[in-house]
Structures are given as structure tokens and as C-alpha cells.
Amino acid sequence: MRIEQLQAFLSVAETGSFQAAAQQCQVTQSTVSRQVQALEAELDAPLFHRGAQAKLTVAGERLLPKARRIQQDWAQVSKDIADLMAGKQPELCVAAIQSVCATVLPPVLQQFCSEYPQVQLRVTALGSDRSLKVLRDGLVDLAIVMDNPRLTTQPEMVVTPLFEEPIEVLLGADHDLARQPAIAWEMLSRFPQILFKDGYGMQRLVQQQFQDRGETFNAALELNTLDAFRGVIRQGNFVALLPQSALADCRDDPTLAVRPTEPPVLTRSVVLVTTRDRLGIPPIQRFHALVQSLASPSRQRRAAAVSYN
């Protein structure tokens, strides 16, 4: 069944004439006849009594209200999709890791809102694995996450590298290791570690690093907010390995210390992920471009330099 067949049927039912229906549809009378005949063949029932006036059969009467509803639904969905492709979507949903929400997204959100005031932005801070899941499930339009090729191998996924940043050590200002200008990995293995909960890419990255080095990973506590990390680190002998962008506010806190690790330095890659079909929608396309522009590696390095000074 094709929408053109239903439209031909409705025009004949409305005008009572194949000729008048052809004029209304702006096609030939033979075209209308073929479309109605094809519909009758598919339904295996005559839809009109053909005579001086085309009158509905019992089957035609049964089809009429449903055909009208289908036509209305088709007209509405056609309009909705046309609006979507013209950039008239009501909202744009983004999932991002916490450090990106705090450092990368604010200028992007400000610029996007000024350009698309009619689009409501919804931003949710989630771990990388969870962000990619809600993207795959169609619950968000874009995800800004720590790179994990294992979860982005589907052909419809578009993965855009944004920047790489070093992983550094957060500890209390009076911690024994705070006196070190750079901290060796074997020293870190002697202290209890605070790490992100399962589902956050940082947990997997840090655990793999200790495993590859043959060092003991002393996981003592799992948390899922940066504020919680800072609060617990101030109180005891814990250490935490966190990305540089997550530590910007800690450098000016006299109760905390941030130190690099000894080389080779562990880094993480941050990427922007969406799907190919979404990139054809103007607001999503623009948001994607803004993130690329405002989260470039050079901007990240300048931001880090400012935070060090």
C-alpha cells in the first residue's frame, strides 16, 4: 500500500468521480484508476461501484475513515520531519563526562543558545560508558566522552577527536607525597586510591595502567562527583588520579595539591560522538562544530597554562 494510492482513493470518494479526482490530484485519469485498482488488488475487494458516479462499496466505507486518519498522520509526520531537517527541533540532548561539563561546555552552550534560542538544551553529566549507551539508545543526540573504541565501532557512529590531556595526582596539601615535584607510580601503589565508579572510563584507564606496570592498585573508595573527590582527599591519606581538566579548581585550594606523575605520563583522549543521521540536522551539526572549535587542543593547553599561573 502506497500513500499515493490512498490519496487517489480519498479523492475519488470525495468527488464521486475518477475524472474530478484526477483534476484534484493533478494527474491523469488513468493514473488515478491504476492507483485505485492496485489498492483494490492489494485488499482483494472492490472499493467503488463504477457507474455515472463512483460510489463506495461496503469495503470502501470501511476503509474511508482509516484512510483519512492515515493521510492525516502522514501529513503530520511529513511536516515534523521537514521541520526537523530545517532545524526546527524543540530540544537537543547532550551527555558528557563531568570535567567536560565544567570546562569545555559552558562557552559552547552560551554560543549555541544565542544562535538557537528556540531549541531547549538538555545536558546530563554521565560516565563515558553510560553516555555512549544512552546515545546508542537514542536518548541523546551527542556524547562527549573518554575514547573507548570498543563501544564506538558501529558504522553509524561518528567519532571526532577533541583533545588529549594528562592524568595527574590529587592529594591533600599535607600528604607525604605532596613534597614530591613528580610522583612515581610505585609510590602511588603504597597509598589507598579513590576512583570513579564502574561505568566511568577513568576507572578502567587507571586500573589498566597499574596492571600494565605490575604495580598494586589499592582501590579504597569509589565516588562519582568531583566535589566528593575533593572533600575526601582533604580528610585523609588518600590519593586520586584524575584528568587535568578536572583539577583546575584544585590548584588554587590551599588544602589540596596537584602533582604530575613521573614519565611516561598517562593521558586520556576525549572525543565527540554522534550518529551520521544526526549530523544532517542543522542544530546538531552546529553544536558539533562549536564543540570542535571551542574544545580544540590549543584552547585546552591555554586553559591549562592559565590555571597553573
Question: Phi first, then psi: what are they for 199, rounded to 5°?
Answer: 105, -15
Predicted confidence at residue 149, as pLDDT, reads: 85
Predicted confidence at residue 190, as pLDDT, reads: 92
Q: State the CATH class of domain 3-85.
A: mainly alpha
Q: State the CATH class of domain 164-267.
A: alpha beta
Predicted confidence at residue 307, as pLDDT, reads: 41
Predicted confidence at residue 49, as pLDDT, reads: 92
pLDDT in tens, 186-214: 999 999 999 988 778 888 888 889 989 88
Residues of the chain with pLDDT under 70: 87, 296-309
Percent of residues, the chain, with pLDDT higher than 70: 95
Sequence-distant (6+) residues with CB within 8 A of 101 are 123, 125
- Within 155-296, strands assigned E span 157-172, 193-196, 219-223, 239-243, 256-259, 267-275
**What is the Cα–Cα distance from 290 to 40, expressed in whole angstroms?**
53
Predicted confidence at residue 233, as pLDDT, reads: 94
Predicted confidence at residue 284, as pLDDT, reads: 94
Predicted confidence at residue 306, as pLDDT, reads: 44
- Buried b / exposed e along 259-280 (16+ C-beta atoms within 10 A): bebeeeebebbbbbbbbeebbe
Predicted confidence at residue 301, as pLDDT, reads: 45
**For the structural domain made of 98-159+270-308, what CATH number should be given?**
3.40.190
Q: Are 3-85 and 164-267 equal in CATH topology?
A: no
Residue that is written with C-alpha cell 553544536 in the block = 287
Q: Whole-model pTM?
A: 0.73
Domain ranges of the chain: 3-85, 98-159+270-308, 164-267
Predicted confidence at residue 302, as pLDDT, reads: 52
- Buried b / exposed e along 111-149 (16+ C-beta atoms within 10 A): ebeeebeebebebebbbbbbbbbebbeeebbbbbbbbbe
Predicted confidence at residue 309, as pLDDT, reads: 39
